Every structure is written in structure tokens, then in C-alpha cells.
């Protein structure tokens, strides 16, 4: 076994603290990765606090925006070599045989994919532990190649925040002539702005207050709307083709459905703790759609990394030491992150 150290939530809602554990010995197709940086996704907080009612395995080492360097490879690994820059996202395995896995839609594996942390591996007993740690062992088919021109601290947030916005923007064809709204300017939202602009869409940010206005424009947003003034929903009614909701809390969806044009789509990616009440009328009246999307496939994540290099897109990050993780969680919860915390694992 390989000795690992990191930060874990010992029990539900408890502050994270230093934790030692073991990774499996590498198998033939495994890559052993020295983790250099790991982003803090709001999902890590939902999971550590069991806000989705799915967190049963503690101690839990969160983290699924992992960027690092290959330490060693198993005897049959062909895709990676020692010293290469690599990444790991939200899942580290899937059934590989179902209809969705065979179509490179492994994020929708019909048997459920193996989450990077807080889950059981496919053997049904080994607990997965995430990237707030110094080393991870992952099958080469679930490892991403990080282009050398991308600094590792900035590559990390692409592995969840980047792909979670890239996938729906591509699926619902954001591009020239399309008016796209991004709800919430946090880790996911700010990636959405940059990617949607690179695709050629006209982008509007919906944020609670004016505080992030200048930042949004600097990132490429064409328009900025502070939603604390409820009259904006009337003014902009019926004007969007596509809206992506990255908000981590429950909100009044009817306001936002009204912003869509005929046949427009609002895609949920934010996953709040509490359910939201939805009246179908605003959907019915303009044949609008309400949809959802989860991260992206391994194939699409690789494509997104190349896209970001091509378009010179990087996340805006605040690099922190591991012992600052609990303070960082508090700041994420008050929307006070600009725009992704990334833990420097060398400082463990």
C-alpha cells in the first residue's frame, strides 16, 4: 500500500483536519499521481456536511479537481509516463460496458460511476478518498492529460468547474447569435462566462449584488444583472435562449423561467441542499424546457482542456495552504471566493 496524507472531515459537518491513510498498490493499468493542487468545489462542502443525504463514509477526504505529476505507472499503462502533468476529476471509474459508457458518456454510467471520494470502488468495499491529499492512484482510462502550457494550479478547477459548464454549453449549442445567461458568479459560473464567450455567445451574468460587476465584464460578460432588484426579471423577460443555473442555494425559479424565449432552456447544474418548488405555468406558456446536466465525460473533459488552452481560458484562483481549508469553506459559503480556492498540496 502507498502511504498518503491529507485533510479529512472526520464526521458529518466537523471541521477538516490532518489525516493519514493508504492508497492501493498500483495495478497494471494504474497511474500513481503526486498531487500538486486541488480545487475546492462547493460540492465538497455539500458532501462534507451531508447536505444531499448521500454522505455515509467518514473520515472523508474531499477534492475532485486534482492536478499533479505522474510518480509511477503500472506495467500495462500506455497513455502516461513518469513526470507528465495529469488531472483527475469527479470520477475515477465506471462500469465501462453499459450503453452510456460505450458512447463516451461515462458521467451517466447506468451502473453509476465511481466518485473520486466519499464512495466505494467497484470492488464494493474500498472507500475512495479525494484530492485534498498528496497522492492518488487512478486507472489510466480515468486520468486526464494536462497540456504543459497550463499551470497546474489553474488547471485544477477545470476538472470539475470547467467541464460542468463546458458540457451543457456544448450540448445546448451556445454560440454566435445565442443569448446565454449564467446564474451565480462563483467557481462554476465564472468558467461559464469565459467558455460561453469563447464559443461566441452573448453572455449575461445574474449575480445577487453589484459587487462582482467589474470582474464579470473583465471575464468577458457582455451584460451584468444584480438580482437584488426584482424589476430586472420583468425588464429582461423572454430574452434568453439558454440559461445555466450554477447557484448552490434554493431560489425562486419562476423568475428565471420567465427570462427564456419561446423554446428556451434553463439547465440546472447547481445542486442545493433543499428542494425547490416549481410551478409549471412559466414553462407551459412558452414551451420552455427545464433540464439538468452533470459534469462531463472523460473524453469531453480532455476536449475541454484543449479548448481552454486554444482559447487561453484559465480559472481565476486563490491558492491557499491546506490548513486554511476550513476558512476557505466559510468564505465559499458567503460567496466570498474570487473565484476558486485551490489548495497547494506541496504545503501539506
Q: Based on CB atoms, which residue is closest to ligand NAP, 93 or 140?
A: 93
Least distance (Å) from ligand NAP to the CB of residue 187? 4
For residue 267, the SS3 value is strand
Per-residue contact track with Zn ion, 115 to 154, x per CB under 5 A?
----------------------------------------
Q: Which does 94 bind (CB under 5 to 8 A by kind): Zn ion, ligand NAP, none?
A: Zn ion
304 binds, among Zn ion, ligand NAP, none (CB under 5 to 8 A by kind): none
CB 250 within 8 A of CB 270: no
Binding mask 37-66 for Zn ion (x = CB under 5 A): ----x-x-----------------------
What is the smallest separation between the CB atom of 61 and ligand NAP, expressed in angstroms? 17
| Helix 187-198 × helix 298-310 angle, to 10° | 70
> Total number of residues binding Zn ion (CB under 5 A)?
8
Which of 93, 241 has the CB closer to Zn ion?
Answer: 93
d(CA 288, CA 21) in angstroms, rounded, equals 49
DSSP β-ladder status, 30-39 and 66-73: antiparallel
Q: How far is CA 12 from the centre of its chain?
A: 22
| Binding residues for Zn ion restricted to 163-202, rule: CB under 5 A | none
Residue 114 site contact among ligand NAP, Zn ion, none (CB < 5 to 8 Å, cut-off depends on kind):
none
Q: Are strands 135-139 and 340-344 parallel, antiparallel or unpaired?
A: unpaired
The residues binding ligand NAP (CB under 6 A) are: 41-43, 46, 160-161, 164, 184-189, 207-208, 212, 246-249, 251, 269-272, 293-295, 332, 335, 337
Cα–Cα distance measured from residue 324 to residue 337, given in angstroms and rounded to the nearest whole number:
13
Name which position in 9, 35, 109, 155 contacts Zn ion (CB under 5 A): 109
Q: Nearest-CA neighbor of 36 among 70, 3, 8?
A: 70
Q: Which residues of 82-113 are buried (b: 16+ CB within 10 A; e: fewer)?
A: eebbbbbbbbbbbbeebebbeeebbbbbeeeb
Instruction: Tell me which residues in 66-105 interact with Zn ion (CB under 5 A).
Output: 94-95, 98, 101
Residue 98 contact, options ligand NAP, Zn ion, none, Cβ 5-8 Å cut-off depending on partner type: Zn ion
User: 269 near 168, Cβ under 8 Å?
Assistant: yes
- Return the C-alpha cell found at 263: 423554446
Amino acid at each position: 500500500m502507498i502511504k498518503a496524507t491529507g485533510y479529512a472531515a472526520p464526521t458529518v459537518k466537523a471541521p477538516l483536519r490532518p489525516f493519514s491513510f493508504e492508497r492501493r498498490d498500483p495495478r497494471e493499468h494504474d497511474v500513481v499521481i503526486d498531487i500538486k493542487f486541488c480545487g475546492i468545489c462547493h460540492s465538497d462542502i455539500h458532501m462534507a456536511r451531508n447536505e444531499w443525504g448521500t454522505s455515509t463514509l467518514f473520515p472523508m477526504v474531499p477534492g475532485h479537481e486534482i492536478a499533479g505529476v505522474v510518480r509511477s505507472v503500472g506495467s500495462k499503462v500506455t497513455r502516461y509516463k513518469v513526470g507528465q502533468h495529469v488531472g483527475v476529476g469527479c470520477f475515477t471509474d465506471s462500469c465501462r460496458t453499459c450503453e452510456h459508457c460505450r458512447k463516451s458518456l461515462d458521467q451517466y454510467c447506468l451502473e453509476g460511476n465511481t466518485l473520486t471520494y466519499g464512495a466505494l470502488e467497484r470492488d464494493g468495499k474500498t472507500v475512495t478518498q479525494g484530492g485534498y491529499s498528496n497522492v492518488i492512484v487512478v486507472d489510466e482510462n480515468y486520468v486526464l492529460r494536462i497540456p504543459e502550457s497550463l499551470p497546474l494550479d489553474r488547471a485544477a478547477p477545470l476538472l470539475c468547474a470547467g467541464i460542468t459548464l463546458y458540457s451543457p454549453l456544448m450540448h445546448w449549442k451556445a454560440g454566435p447569435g445565442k443569448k446565454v445567461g449564467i446564474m451565480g458568479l462563483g467557481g462554476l459560473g465564472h468558467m461559464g462566462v469565459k467558455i460561453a464567450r469563447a464559443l461566441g455567445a452573448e453572455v449575461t451574468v445574474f449575480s445577487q449584488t453589484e459587487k462582482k460587476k467589474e470582474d464579470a465584464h473583465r471575464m468577458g460578460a457582455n451584460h451584468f444583472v444584480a438580482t437584488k432588484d426584482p424589476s430586472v426579471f420583468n425588464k429582461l423577460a423572454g430574452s434568453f435562449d439558454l440559461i445555466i443555473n450554477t447557484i448552490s442555494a434554493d431560489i425562486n425559479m419562476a423568475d428565471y423561467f420567465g427570462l427564456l424565449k419561446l423554446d428556451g432552456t434553463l439547465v440546472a447544474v447547481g445542486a442545493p441542499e433543499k428542494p425547490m418548488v416549481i410551478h409549471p405555468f412559466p414553462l407551459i406558456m412558452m414551451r420552455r424546457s427545464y433540464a439538468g446536466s452533470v459534469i462531463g465525460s472523460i473524453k469531453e473533459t480532455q476536449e475541454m482542456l484543449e479548448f481552454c488552452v486554444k482559447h487561453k481560458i484559465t480559472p481565476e484562483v486563490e491558492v491557499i495552504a491546506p490548513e486554511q481549508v476550513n476558512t476557505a469553506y466559510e468564505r465559499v459559503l458567503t460567496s466570498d471566493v474570487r473565484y476558486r480556492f485551490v489548495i497547494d498540496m506541496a504545503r501539506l
